[in-house]
């Protein structure tokens, strides 16, 4: 019988290895996303303050994160820090750090947009009730902004999950790298392996991202009614 490349997936520990790779991807992505969501809220609020120096600093940070590719940031934090300052981060720590810094910047911009879209009257009537600045944000601004930033935040989350495939370049063996190794080691035996391995990886990324977008749909529907 002609070899079906799909057999590669169930041979030996290949499937197990791919799933372990998935776990590496998921761990880096979700730790970074969790930190970004939490840190992005205060950062976004800082961006809406009137202080010019503060606004410039926030803007500078955001643009730096946007303009310089994530890959370059990974190199800076993994190789750059070790070489120049003798700070030896593990590859996973460097990855989580870079993705958190990037995610916080992007999340902050989403929060900023949501907060500034609220009407001025919401602030004034909260002030008129005697709410403190912290209470104003806690009870009035953030709950309302949350409803508006869900689509953007979900988009960012899936983007971050997908971008984790870059960490292979600082030596982390994640799902995509495992896939390539499997394809290479089976290249002669089953030339169509690439199709099946990448197919499975596609499916696994989908499994990772789908619950997130399902969650967003549910939240949007709940807050609509």
Helix boundaries (H) for 164-192: 175-185
Q: Does 51 bind another protein (CB under 8 A)?
A: no
CB-neighbour burial class of residue 22 (10 A; exposed 0-12, middle 13-18, buried 19+):
buried
Q: Does 117 bind another protein (CB under 8 A)?
A: no
Q: What is d(CA 155, CA 92) in angstroms, rounded to the nearest whole number?
A: 23
Task: Give counts: helices (H), strands (E), the chain.
Answer: 11, 0
Q: Does 220 bind another protein (CB under 8 A)?
A: no
Residue from 51, 90, 117, 135 binding another protein (CB under 8 A): 135
Residue from 129, 169, 210, 215 binding another protein (CB under 8 A): 129
Q: Does 97 bind another protein (CB under 8 A)?
A: no
Residue from 12, 42, 143, 171 binding another protein (CB under 8 A): 143
* Segment interacting with another protein (CB under 8 A) among 72-80, 90-98, 131-139, 186-194: 131-139
* Segment interacting with another protein (CB under 8 A) among 26-34, 60-68, 83-91, 128-136: 128-136
Q: Report how far apart, in Å, the C-alpha atoms of 154 and of each of 4, 43, 141, 217 are.
A: 38, 18, 20, 10
| Site residue total, another protein (CB under 8 A) | 18
* Segment interacting with another protein (CB under 8 A) among 35-43, 119-127, 149-157, 180-188: 119-127
The tokens describing 163, both together, are 């971008």
Q: Does 130 bind another protein (CB under 8 A)?
A: yes
Q: Report how far apart, in Å, the C-alpha atoms of 100 and of each of 32, 94, 120, 185, 203 are.
A: 5, 10, 31, 34, 25
Residue from 59, 127, 189, 214 binding another protein (CB under 8 A): 127
In terms of Cα–Cα distance, which of 113, 102, 112 is closest to 44? 112
Q: Are 103 and 35 in contact (CB under 8 A)?
A: yes
Using CB under 8 A as the criterion, which residues of the chain lie in contact with another protein when the complex forms?
Answer: 119, 121-122, 124-132, 135, 139-140, 143-144, 147
């Amino acid at each position: 019988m002609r070899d079906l490349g799909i057999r590669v997936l169930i041979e030996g520990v290949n499937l197990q290895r791919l799933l372990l790779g998935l776990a590496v991807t998921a761990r880096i992505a979700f730790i970074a996303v969790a930190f970004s969501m939490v840190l992005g809220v205060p950062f976004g609020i800082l961006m809406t303050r009137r202080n010019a120096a503060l606004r410039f600093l926030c803007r500078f940070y955001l643009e730096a994160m946007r303009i310089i590719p994530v890959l370059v940031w990974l190199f800076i934090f993994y190789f750059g820090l070790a070489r120049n300052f003798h700070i030896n981060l593990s590859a996973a720590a460097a990855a989580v750090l870079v993705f958190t810094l990037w995610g916080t910047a992007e999340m902050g911009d989403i929060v900023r947009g949501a907060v500034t879209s609220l009407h001025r009257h919401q602030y004034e009537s909260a002030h008129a009730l005697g709410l403190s600045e912290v209470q104003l944000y806690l009870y009035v601004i953030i709950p309302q902004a949350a409803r508006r930033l869900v689509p953007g935040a979900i988009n960012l989350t899936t983007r971050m999950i997908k971008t984790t495939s870059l960490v292979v370049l600082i030596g982390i063996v994640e799902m995509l790298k495992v896939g390539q190794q499997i394809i290479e080691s089976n290249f002669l035996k089953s030339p169509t392996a690439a199709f099946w391995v990448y197919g499975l990886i596609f499916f696994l990324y989908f499994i990772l991202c789908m619950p997130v977008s399902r969650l967003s749909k549910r939240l949007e529907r709940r807050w609509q009614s």
